[in-house]
Amino acid sequence: MGFEKVDEILENYAYKHDALIGILQDVQRLENYLPQETLQYIGRELEVPLSRVYYIATFYKSFSLEPRGRHIVKVCLGTACHLNGAVQNLEQVERVLSIREGETTEDRMFSLETVNCVGTCALAPVTMVGEDYYGAVTPGRVEKILSAYSTGSGSAEDGKD
Amino acid sequence: MEKIKSSSQLEHYRESIVHKRDVGKKVIRLCNTGCRGRGSSKVAEALENQVREANLDDKVTIKKTGCHGFCQIGSVMVIEPGNILYQKVKPKDVPEILSETIVKGEVLDRLLYRDPKSGEKIRREADIPFYQHQSKTVSHNTGKIDPTDIEDYLAPGGYGALDKALTTMKPMGIIETVEASGLRGRGGGGFPAGRKWRSCREAPGIIKYVIANGDEGDPGAFMDRSLMEGDPHSIIEGMIIGAYAIGAHEGFVYVRDEYPIAVEHLSKAIKQAESLGLLGEDILGTGFDFTIRIITGAGAFVCGESTALMNSLEGRVGEPRAKYVHTVESGLWDRPSTLNNVETWANVPLIINRGAQWYADTGTDTSKGTKIFSLVGKVRNTGLVEVPMGINLSEIIFDIGGGIKRDKKFKAVQTGGPSGGCIPMNKIDMPVDYDSLKQLGAIMGSGGMIVMDENNCMVDTAKYFINFLMYESCGKCVPCREGLKQMHEILSNICEGHGQEGDLELLQKLASFMVDASLCALGGTAPNPVLSTISYFRDEYEAHIFDKKCRAGVCRNLFDYYIDEKLCNGCTLCRVKCPEEAISGEKKKPHVIDEEKCIRCGICFSLCKKEAVLVK
Ligand SMILES: Cc1cc2nc3c(=O)[nH]c(=O)nc-3n(C[C@H](O)[C@H](O)[C@H](O)COP(=O)(O)O)c2cc1C
């Protein structure tokens, strides 16, 4: 693919080096991950060493160097969620999707990530699928929540807190 | 929009807003930030559609507000006049709310909050015990105003402090006022804000910066989120006043990546303030220029630390710098910079408006004003609470929080985020202020308060925080990077049943080394959760190490699930759902778990409607 869209992003930031994090965020929003060729291109265009681009892309947790699935499942592991059994939910998601944290299913339907806190601690333990929040999740409810997305029927309305 | 060029124009504008409001109209204040997790966007949509369809526009205004605080009962809606609070509102409740309450003025009993103590339904928001014991000061606007409409902020006097500061006060006078108020930083360290501003003002340099720290990295804390989402102008107003006092013309708000609504509301607020001439060039016609930019983080806890944050703002990796040079002298791009937490900034307009003495009248000798806490975990009423400094922990947890969920036993409250400490039952009559909490081996931190009950294991909790910090350590300095790794290994061993005599002493030794030698406070305070749990819950560690038992039922190798045959009704649900086929039993007969096959995944425990699955 061409880099027209990436050029647009770089122009938005006036090719400033100090905007590198924002640039990568926009690229990830566009591509859903950070492709290698794009990172190389950005390095060249901004005239910053590729090592620095990668240093940033690998330091911050929200960047992904791998293509991600259509639905990003985020299991919150914040303190309130942890105390209410988030780890068992994570393991159940791993079992249901047959992937580990940080991985994507073969059909690119789901990626599984963990987050430190989504700031909705009253709903703990929380799991997000895309933009949808699920509160008071238990291992027993995980399968039902996820199946609504894999069958393409959208969010598990009834399962929502 | 014409820019406001003087104090009198601001007053005129304010009057015109108040004047055009129709006082006869009812107002529905619906939380549309925190409660979105409970589907409040759908409620808002239903409200807007049905109000339009029923031509009720002249009867009711719908205000989509920030967080009301009582997240436990969301989606929360308050109707004025009457201060009627409806809880757990769903889209299907909307038709009746409109036809009964808005049109006929009838209160819907079924949507009212029921006080669990008295069993009585409570009609008014202000009469609910959760709110009664609070003093909403910094958060007085959140939940009341529409944060995306600057007129809502202006109407009750917003930007009045800015006007007062810019037109009647000298920069040094502002700094002296903030010093005299006793305001201390709300982001963790509790450093006196006025003193920080003074150093920054006095530091040599023409270009200076002010920064708001909205990274809110502490898991379990969301008060900064609620301010940024629910009352962004209060932060902006505070920053402009601070910038004027310090002599800065550029400001930044660093917002956590996970808070998209905060970014949206702050961006709107900045645009609106600029269009009115309250931000940008020649603010209020005084000749003072100041701009604010929003920068979002990218998911790194350490970026909340002042120097790491500044590195991140410069587009670098968020690694802390050594502190022998202070950021007030050489911070962002090596220029004098003042970084304060967003809640600290939001306190500033209040202090300017009402004076240092008024502010200092609340709180204790060394901790002034009020503080917002996020009360979460095993407490009945989770949410955000604002209380005067110096209030007892037990008042927060039992009077406001309503005690422990499902009447379980209180075990500990953890304050101060990952590097805070766990406070046990026999210490919960201690006042909440910077110094008392420190004495207890905890810290105020940014205001997270996480309540734990008898089903939470303190060793696992310590391991949780160390694990968190181990992943979030940037790796630049050895004591933090390696120390956390070793601590994690020792704690994991204990939790898995491989603990040995001497482990606790080793942990303590490692801790003192990390405190002394780490580059930044991440490593320097990281041992807190370990040290505080060892000192208050030593018996629990010893049960893990010597008896190989986790009585809370958390550490997998150290407990078993079993089914109480008297409680089990043989519904077969657990047997069907067990991923290991470890459960056997006939329909309508008590089931049995095979301990050898059981992986303690917790599915049966969570699914059983009879609560017949127990821990031993
Ligand atoms: C590891 C680490 C993480 C921090 N995270 C935050 C944060 O998320 N928000 C915050 O306001 N302060 C955070 N701080 C404290 C900041 O370094 C700094 O003291 C604070 O923002 C100053 O503002 P204040 O004086 O108004 O509190 C953190 C400190 C450390 C060591």
Print the SS3 string covering B317-329: CCCCCCCCCCCCC
Cα nearest neighbour of B417 on chain A: A79
Section B445-459 average pLDDT: 93
CATH 3.40.30.10 segments of chain B: 21-132
Section B533-562 average pLDDT: 94
User: In this predicted model, what pLDDT tens digit does every residue of B378-390 receive, in sequence order?
Assistant: 999 999 999 999 9
Whether chain B has a CB inside 8 Å of the CB on A101: the answer is no
Fill in the amino acid letter for A3.
Answer: F
Among 1.20.1440.230, 3.40.50.970, 3.40.50.300, 3.50.30.10, name the CATH number for the domain at B458-547: 1.20.1440.230
Fill in the amino acid letter for B104.
Answer: K
Partner-chain contact A116 B414, CB within 8 Å: no
Strand-pair category, B77-80 with B84-86: antiparallel
CATH for B150-360 is 3.40.50.11540
Alpha carbon of B570: minimum distance to chain A alpha carbons (Å): 17
CA distance B364 to B430: 13
CATH 3.40.50.11540 segments of chain B: 150-360
Helix (H, G, I), strand (E, B) or coil at B186: coil
For the Cβ of B85 lying below 6 angstroms from any atom of ligand 1, the answer is: no
CATH for A71-150 is 3.40.30.10
Answer whether residue B85 shows pLDDT above 60.
yes
Rounded to a whole number of angstroms, the CA Rg of chain A reads: 18
CA distance B107 to A102: 49
CATH class for domain B370-453?
A: alpha beta
Q: What sign does the CA torsion over A118, A120, A124, A130 have? A: negative
Partner-chain contact B258 A55, CB within 8 Å: no
| For testing contact with chain B, the best of A13, A25, A82, A132 (most B CBs within 10 A) | A82
Q: How far apart are the first and last CA of chain B?
A: 69
Fill in the amino acid letter for B59.
Answer: K
- At B84, the pLDDT band (50, 70, 90 cuts) reads very high
Tally Cβ neighbours within 10 Å of residue B439: 11
- ipTM confidence: 0.90
User: In this predicted model, what pLDDT tens digit does every residue of B102-158 receive, in sequence order?
Assistant: 999 999 999 999 999 899 999 999 999 999 999 999 999 999 999 999 999 999 999
CATH 3.10.20.600 segments of chain B: 370-453
User: In this predicted model, what pLDDT tens digit does every residue of B237-255 receive, in sequence order?
Assistant: 999 999 999 999 999 999 9
Per-residue exposure over A81-98, b if at least 16 CB sit within 10 Å of its own CB, e if not? bbbbbbbbbbbbbbebbe
Compute, in degrees rounded to 10, the torsion defined by CA atoms B606, B612, B613, B615. Answer: 120
**C-beta separation of B391 from B77 below 8 A:** no
Lookup: tokens for B215: 């990274």
- Phi, psi (5° rounding) for residue B502? 95, -15
Residues of chain B with Cβ-Cβ distance to A22 below 8 Å are: 295-296, 315
**C-beta separation of B63 from B33 below 8 A:** no
Q: Which residue stretches of chain A have pLDDT < 70?
A: 1, 152-161
CATH 1.20.1440.230 segments of chain B: 458-547
B186 Cα to the center of ligand 1, angstroms: 8
CATH for B21-132 is 3.40.30.10
CA distance A12 to B558: 56
User: In this predicted model, what pLDDT tens digit does every residue of B481-504 receive, in sequence order?
Assistant: 999 999 999 999 999 999 999 999
**C-beta separation of B541 from B494 below 8 A:** yes
- Contacts made by residues A149-157, CB under 8 angstroms, sequence distance 24+: A149/A71, A149/A109, A149/A110, A150/A109, A150/A110, A155/A129, A155/A130, A156/A132
Partner-chain contact B301 A116, CB within 8 Å: yes
Instruction: Give the residue among B13, B254, B48 at the shortest CA–CA distance from B146.
Output: B48
Fill in the amino acid letter for B391.
Answer: I
